[in-house]
Amino acid sequence: MKGMTMADGIVVVIASVHRPRELGRWVDHIAQQTLKPNEMIWAVTSRADLPPERDFGEDLPGLRIIECPVGLTKQRNCALAAITGDPEFVAFFDDDYVPTSTCLEDIVRSFAQLPDVVGLTGTMLGDGINSSGIEFERACALIEAYESRGLRSNPPSLEPWDGLYGCNMAYRAEVIEGEKFDENLPLYAWQEDVDFAVRVARGRRMGRTDGFAGVHQGIKGGRSCGKRLGYSQIVNPLYLLRKGSMKRRKALGMATRNMIANHVRSAKPEPWVDRRGRVIGNWVALWDIVRGRVDPMRILEL
Question: How does pLDDT run across 133-185, given as a tens digit for each residue?
Answer: 999 999 999 999 999 987 776 789 999 888 899 999 999 999 999 999 999 99
Does pTM top 0.85 for this prediction?
yes
Work out the pLDDT band at 2, boundaries 50, 70, 90. very low
**Within 13 A of 93's CA, how many CA atoms are on the CB side?**
31
What pLDDT is stored for residue 119 in this prediction?
A: 97
**Within 13 A of 249's CA, how many CA atoms are on the CB side?**
1
What pLDDT is stored for residue 3 in this prediction?
A: 36
What pLDDT is stored for residue 53 in this prediction?
A: 66
> Which region among 3-12, 188-197, 229-238 has the lowest average model confidence (pLDDT)?
3-12
What pLDDT is stored for residue 154 in this prediction?
A: 75
Compute the C-alpha angle 137/138/140, nearest 5°. 65
What pLDDT is stored for residue 57 in this prediction?
A: 56
What pLDDT is stored for residue 1 in this prediction?
A: 42
Q: Check: CB of residue 154 under 8 Å from CB of residue 79.
A: no
Check pLDDT > 80 for residue 8.
Answer: no
H or E segment to which residue 78 belongs: helix 72-82
Residues 6+ apart with CB under 8 A from 46: 67
Check pLDDT > 70 for residue 224.
Answer: no
Nearest to 297 by CA among 228, 195, 205: 228
Task: Give the mean pLDDT of the chain.
Answer: 91
Work out the pLDDT band at 4, boundaries 50, 70, 90. very low
